[in-house]
């Protein structure tokens, strides 16, 4: 059963990927407006991992497309204005909560109540460092075969922690299926990047690889790109987009 926390996590992943994958479609006014709305929605999730991934991946990908295709510049510029305007307004409205989320103390006497009520529960995480420490101990004890798929929450429970997955996908896979499983997840990024070896990769190929890179960054701080069925579907969908775009580039 998908809980509200699960739904919020999946929404965060979909918004991050959607923002990046929308770049080749910014010739449409509807997509430009959607980008502005998605950026505000992503801010409203108060997910630091998604903020970091988007901030690191979206601007350089947009700049690549700006330099590659003159006809795309108008759409990119309009979308950028909408995103900046939307984030400025929303960031000012939720400024106290944004400051608290990034570790800046609010002014004395200020109560940070501007977080949307639906997102408050998402902010209540167990100690991720403790979960990852348990994962490292399990990996040391079971480095080859792991403890079985889906069993990492049981290891956390035995360590007197909440029965949660490690908030790091490579660690989670190494715990459950062995170190090779964790290395395979990291190797997927190298495989995706290798698809860019062509001299003139398509916009969709670049956007797909960028979206997967964002998921890889998120996977270092959250587990939902692989721990949830819908998260796995999102990850596999992005990989399928990369392969489809690479095949079209080879046959063009």
Same-domain check for residues 207 and 114 = no
pLDDT at 100: 78
Same-domain check for residues 27 and 136 = no
Same-domain check for residues 136 and 16 = no
Same-domain check for residues 187 and 211 = yes
Statement: residue 98 has pLDDT above 50: yes
Same-domain check for residues 187 and 222 = yes
Spell out the residues 6+ positions from residue 77 whose beta carbon is closer than 8 angstroms to its own.
none
Query: Distance (Å, rounded) from C-alpha 65 to C-alpha 76?
Result: 9
Same-domain check for residues 2 and 110 = yes
Same-domain check for residues 131 and 250 = yes
pLDDT at 201: 87
* Confidence class for position 121, pLDDT limits 50, 70, 90: very low
Q: Count how many domains the chain has.
A: 2
Give residue-wise pLDDT tens across range 224-245.
999 999 999 999 999 999 999 9
Query: Distance (Å, rounded) from C-alpha 244 to C-alpha 67?
Result: 23
Q: Which of 57, 90, 124 is the last residue of a domain?
A: 124
pTM of this structure: 0.90
Lowest mean pLDDT among 54-63, 192-201, 217-226: 192-201
pLDDT at 118: 40
Same-domain check for residues 17 and 112 = yes
Give residue-wise pLDDT tens across range 138-147.
999 999 999 9
pLDDT at 2: 54
Cα within 13 Å of Cα(243), Cβ side: 8
Element housing 172 (H / E): helix 169-177
Q: Which of 124, 159, 185 is the last residue of a domain?
A: 124
State which residues form the domain around 111: 1-124
Higher pLDDT, 210 or 195: 210
pLDDT at 115: 47
Over the chain, what is the mean pLDDT? 88
Same-domain check for residues 89 and 160 = no
């Amino acid at each position: 059963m998908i809980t509200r926390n699960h739904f919020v996590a999946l929404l965060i992943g979909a918004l991050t990927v959607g923002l990046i994958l929308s770049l080749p479609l910014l010739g449409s006014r509807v997509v430009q407006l959607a980008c502005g709305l998605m950026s505000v929605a992503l801010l409203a999730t108060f997910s630091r991992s998604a903020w970091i991934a988007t901030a690191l991946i979206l601007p350089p990908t947009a700049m690549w497309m700006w330099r590659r295709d003159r006809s795309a510049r108008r759409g990119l510029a309009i979308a950028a204005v909408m995103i900046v305007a939307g984030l400025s307004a929303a960031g000012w409205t939720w400024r106290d909560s944004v400051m608290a989320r990034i570790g800046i103390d609010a002014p004395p006497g200020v109560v940070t109540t501007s977080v949307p009520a639906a997102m408050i529960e998402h902010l209540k995480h167990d100690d991720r460092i403790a979960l990852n420490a348990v994962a490292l101990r399990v990996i040391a004890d079971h480095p080859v075969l792991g403890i079985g798929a889906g069993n990492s929450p049981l290891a956390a429970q035995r360590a007197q922690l909440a029965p949660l997955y490690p908030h790091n996908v490579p660690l989670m896979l190494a715990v459950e299926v062995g170190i090779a499983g964790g290395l395979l997840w990291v190797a997927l990024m190298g495989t995706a990047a290798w698809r860019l070896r062509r001299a003139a990769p398509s916009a969709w190929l670049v956007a797909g690889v960028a979206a997967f890179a964002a998921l890889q960054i998120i996977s270092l701080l959250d587990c939902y790109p692989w721990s949830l069925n819908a998260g796995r579907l999102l990850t596999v969908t992005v990989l399928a987009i990369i392969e489809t775009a690479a095949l079209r580039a080879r046959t063009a």
